[in-house]
Amino acid sequence: MSVKTLCHLFAALHFWFGCYYDWNYVKIPSDVHRMGSSFGKSGKLKFLTFWDALLQAIFFTICFVNDLIGTNEDTPKKIPLIRKLKDLILPCLAFPLSMFVGLTFWAIYFVDRELIFPRALDNFFPVWLNHVMHTNIMIFILIELFTSYRKYPSRKFGLSVLSVFMLIYLVWIHIIYAYSGMWVYPILEVLNFPLRIVFFVGLLGLSVGLYVVGEKLNAAIWNKQSHVIKKR
């Protein structure tokens, strides 16, 4: 196996294990903090962090399978389905969501961690898992962006996929609130209705901005490398 293939395998197993451990072993008593509540039996699926970790696990699994049976050529004559999936998931979801989850989590954490990851959770949610879910998601996806070529889809298509995903999650947390009477994230408890609207619009704008950043960064990296190759 090549180094890239081994890295993809490690990343996939790393995120699968993180999701498995979180789902099966992280049990926060509801009397310790209400974030441990079932929230209408939604379990870990109430958190965007868990959605994103699952997405990263699936994405890097696809990358690994593509290494084995697909192709990593810059301009292959025939693009296999597994390569098409890989090239669509990163720009549309994997990159913007990983950066969104990581940046928003740590930004709120450093301002007031009680609004996103209260201290009461420290005894139940290990530090290493916190970094798997909120730090490594950014590190691995940036490594992938810098080491593997992909052609970005049209901006209209990419932003449409991302926006639909974010809106689905937004509807989901409102469904949970309707059934449980509690917001998934403590920060939503301290915002009144107008401020929640501003907050949600701002987050949607941030996700769109991160998509564009990924698109620009990909173009800068691979156009530059293509120029160097042609010059040689």
pLDDT values of the chain reduced to their tens digit, one per residue, 232 residues? 789 999 999 999 999 999 999 999 998 887 777 776 666 667 789 899 999 999 999 999 999 999 999 888 877 778 899 999 999 999 999 999 999 999 999 999 999 999 889 898 899 999 999 999 999 999 999 999 999 999 899 999 999 999 999 999 999 999 989 888 888 888 898 899 999 999 999 999 999 999 999 999 999 998 865 444 444 4
Q: Are 90 and 141 in contact (CB under 8 A)?
A: yes
pTM: 0.91
Look at residue 78 in the predicted model and tell me its pLDDT: 86
In angstroms, the CA 179 to CA 173 distance is 10
User: What are the angstrom distances between the C-alpha of 163 and each of 155, 190, 206?
Assistant: 12, 25, 11
Look at residue 228 in the predicted model and tell me its pLDDT: 40
Listed by start position, the domains of the chain span 3-231
Look at residue 72 in the predicted model and tell me its pLDDT: 86
Q: Which two three-digit tokens encode residue 191?
A: 């915002």
**Helix residue spans in 37-91 (DSSP H):** 48-69, 81-89
Q: Which two three-digit tokens encode residue 162?
A: 């991302």
Chain centroid, CA 141 distance in Å: 9
In angstroms, the CA 206 to CA 107 distance is 13
Residue 105: which H helix or E strand, with range? helix 95-112
Look at residue 40 in the predicted model and tell me its pLDDT: 61
In angstroms, the CA 125 to CA 117 distance is 10
